[in-house]
C-alpha cells in the first residue's frame, strides 16, 4: 500500500446549490481548506458524497473537478462499488484512472452475499482494477459483514487489495485483522469516534467525515496517535467527540453539511431522500461549533 494513503483521509461531501445542481465553487473551497490544513488524502464518491444520487455523468464531472483542484497535492481515492459485480467491473473498465491513486469499494449491500460471495466479488474487482483497492466494511449500511477471515484471505491472495476501511465497530474483528494482516496492508478506521482507539491498537489511519469541517484538528489527533502521543491525541479526541456524535444523529451527510454551513464553507443542501437535519439538532451543532477551539 502506498504509505501516503495512511493517516487522515477525508470522505468529502458533494456541495449542491439550492436548485440541486453541483456547487463546484464550494467544492473548490472545501478541497483547498482540507488540503491546506494537513490531511493526507481525499476520497471522492463515497457514502458521504451522496454518490448514489449522482448520475454517471455527474460522477465523472465531480471526480474530474476534484482531480484538477487537488492538482497532485495529495492522493485522490475514488469510490467504485456496488452489489452487482458485473456493473462494478463495467464502471472500472470505463473509468479514466488518471490522477486516481486507489479505489474504495464497499461490500455488496442489500442482497447479503455469504463470505464466499464477498470473496469472489472482490477477487473479480481485483482482477480488473488498475489501481490499489481499499475494501469498505460497513455492516450498518450493507446488512452484511466482511469477516476477519475473509479480509485476511483477500489481503494475502491479492497484492492490489491494499487496505480496509473498517466500520464494523467490532474490536475483536478489528484486532484479528491488525494482528494477522500481511505487511503493506493498512487498516483504516471508518468511524471517527473510534479512530483513536483503533490507531492505538495498530490501525494506520482513518477515512473521516468530521475532517471535512475540522481537518487540522482531526489530522493532528491522528498524527499524534500514530507517534504514540496518546495523551495529547486524547485531548483532541474529547474536544471533538461531542460534535462527532452529533453529526451522525440525523443521518450522514446531513450532519456534516449543517456544520459546513455553520462554518461558512457551503450551503446546507442535500438530495432526496436525504434532507437537512432538524432545527433542534442544527442548534446543537451550532453550539458545538462555538465550543471548539480554533488554533
**Of 40, 33, 30, the residue nearest 9 (C-alpha):** 40
Residue 64 among the catalytic residues = no
Which is the catalytic residue, given 59, 119, 136, 220? 136
* Cβ 162 vs Cβ 186: under 8 Å: yes
* DSSP bridge partners of 63: none
Residue 282 among the catalytic residues = no
* Cβ 205 vs Cβ 44: under 8 Å: no
Which is the catalytic residue, given 29, 112, 153, 165? 165
| Cα 149-152-157 angle, rounded to 5 deg | 120
Residues with a catalytic annotation lie at: 136, 165
Amino acid at each position: 500500500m502506498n504509505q501516503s494513503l495512511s493517516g487522515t483521509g477525508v470522505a468529502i461531501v458533494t456541495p449542491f446549490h439550492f436548485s440541486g445542481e453541483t456547487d463546484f465553487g464550494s467544492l473548490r473551497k472545501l478541497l483547498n481548506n482540507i488540503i491546506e490544513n494537513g490531511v493526507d488524502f481525499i476520497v471522492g464518491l463515497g457514502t458521504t458524497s451522496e454518490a448514489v444520487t449522482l448520475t454517471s455523468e455527474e460522477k465523472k464531472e465531480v471526480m474530474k473537478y476534484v482531480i484538477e483542484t487537488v492538482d497532485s497535492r495529495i492522493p485522490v481515492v475514488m469510490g467504485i462499488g456496488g452489489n452487482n459485480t458485473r456493473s462494478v467491473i463495467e464502471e472500472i473498465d470505463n473509468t479514466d484512472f488518471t490522477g486516481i491513486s486507489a479505489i474504495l469499494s464497499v461490500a455488496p449491500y442489500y442482497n447479503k452475499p455469504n463470505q464466499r460471495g464477498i470473496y469472489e466479488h472482490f477477487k473479480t474487482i481485483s482482477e480488473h482494477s488498475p489501481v490499489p483497492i481499499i475494501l469498505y466494511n460497513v455492516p450498518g449500511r450493507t446488512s452484511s459483514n466482511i469477516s476477519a477471515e475473509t479480509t485476511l484471505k483477500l489481503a494475502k491472495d491479492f497484492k492490489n487489495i491494499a487496505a480496509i476501511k473498517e466500520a464494523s465497530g467490532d474490536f475483536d474483528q478489528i484486532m484479528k485483522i491488525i494482528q494477522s494482516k500481511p505487511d503493506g496492508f493498512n487498516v483504516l478506521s471508518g468511524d471517527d469516534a473510534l479512530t483513536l482507539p483503533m490507531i492505538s491498537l495498530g490501525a494506520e489511519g482513518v477515512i473521516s467525515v468530521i475532517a471535512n469541517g475540522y481537518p487540522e484538528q482531526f489530522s493532528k489527533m491522528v498524527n499524534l496517535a500514530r507517534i504514540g502521543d496518546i495523551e495529547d491525541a486524547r485531548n483532541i479526541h474529547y474536544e471533538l467527540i461531542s460534535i462527532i456524535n452529533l453529526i451522525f444523529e440525523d443521518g450522514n451527510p446531513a450532519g456534516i453539511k449543517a456544520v459546513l454551513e455553520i462554518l461558512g464553507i457551503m450551503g446546507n443542501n442535500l438530495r432526496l431522500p436525504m434532507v437537512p437535519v432538524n432545527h433542534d439538532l442544527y442548534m446543537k451543532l451550532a453550539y458545538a461549533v462555538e465550543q471548539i477551539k480554533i488554533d
